[in-house]
Structure 1
Amino acid sequence: MKVSSPKIPLTPEEKLNLKKCKIKLHEIADMDIMNLSQCLQSSFERANYLRGLAQFQTVPSIGPKVAKRLVDLGYYSLQEVKTEEGADLINRLEERIGYWEDPCLEDSFRCIVHHANHPESNKSWFDFTPDRKSYREQYGYPTTRPTIAWYEKKKNTNN
């Protein structure tokens, strides 16, 4: 099976440093933060950020944009999301950014939490759509949910 490389925003210097350390992009997800920091010649925080992006992209069907949304919430590893709920993650994100996201992002968050607890799983984000729909039908959304949708936000920023 081909191992895919994560898409992470490395500087040219960081790319060169990884090459000097003989580290491939797909290895970053499993690296010790201190070792990664030393190899990149970067701060611990920067190494943690990059490893988080890489680690979330190890989950089937999860790409760099979804990984970044989770890191933006302050999660940097699959271990950290093990006890979370996809619905809670999306609720917190939407409150933080001020608009509601595409419902598929909640499916993706549910997928990541699932994989944190079942690393051998091959499920993709779309396998969690029925769970989300059922949950939202039963519990709805928080009363504090923003009223602006992601597509309205994009339309307003393009004007």
Structure 2
Amino acid sequence: MKSKTNIKLPLTEVEKANLRKHKIKIAKVLDFAADELEVLLNVTPERAKEIYALAEFQTVPSVGIKFAEDLVFLGYYSLNELKQKDGAKLTDEFEQKKGYWIDPCVEDQFRLIVNFANTNDTSKTWWDFTEERKKFRAENGYPKNRPQKAWFEALGYKLKDNKDSH
């Protein structure tokens, strides 16, 4: 697995101490299998799987910890599980599970992660999928059962008026 030096992981103080004890840098977490991380970090199998997934998802260009956490929230723990998925359907599933509609750029990230899982193409970033998403949504729209509340309302954000966004 390709190392990425700017991987962020929401580790507990004990987990960080265990990494230090074994002289393992966060960027090298993917050098170990989840079952090895379980032993090294003294965590449950589920937690080791989550840590591994969060690190693996961040190997995709322009994917950070927040989106990696979104993928785990949906129940995905490896890039392999995202092969043959559909970015638009993942978006719809995510919105249903969250209970609010999300920023359209997040759909671009879902499209990116599926593309990467299938191709390992490191030349693309999420914004390379913006036009594809816009075209798809113009032709197909969103599901009838799409949540009515927007992410910024649900999360209490105040947005400035930007007529040209998305």
TM-score normalised to the size of structure 2?
Answer: 0.88
- For the 8 Å contact 1:29–1:52, the answer to whether it is kept is no
Aligned 1:9-158 pairs, distance under 5 A: 9-155=10-156
TM-superposed CA distance for 1:43, in Å, is 0.4
Letter in 2 for 1:81: L
Structure 1 stretches of 4+ with a deviation exceeding 4 A read none
**3-state SS in 2 of match to 1:76:** coil
Give 5+ residue unaligned stretches, structure 2.
158-166
How many aligned positions are there?
155
Give 5+ residue unaligned stretches, structure 1.
none
1: CA distance, partners of 2:6 / 2:36: 19
**3-state SS in 2 of match to 1:155:** coil
More helix by share: 1
**3-state SS in 1 of match to 2:36:** helix
CA RMSD of the aligned region, Å?
1.5
TM-superposed CA distance for 1:153, in Å, is 1.3
**3-state SS in 2 of match to 1:107:** helix
Letter in 2 for 1:149: A
**3-state SS in 2 of match to 1:36:** helix
Letter in 2 for 1:126: W
Letter in 1 for 2:143: P
- For the 8 Å contact 2:57–2:68, the answer to whether it is kept is yes
**3-state SS in 1 of match to 2:56:** helix
Identity in percent: 47
Q: Residue by residue, what CA displacement relative to the aligned partner does 1:55-84 show, whole Å, maximum 9, x if unpaired?
A: 111111111111111110000111111111
TM-superposed CA distance for 1:13, in Å, is 1.1
Match of 2:162 in 1: none
2: CA distance, partners of 1:112 / 1:75: 11
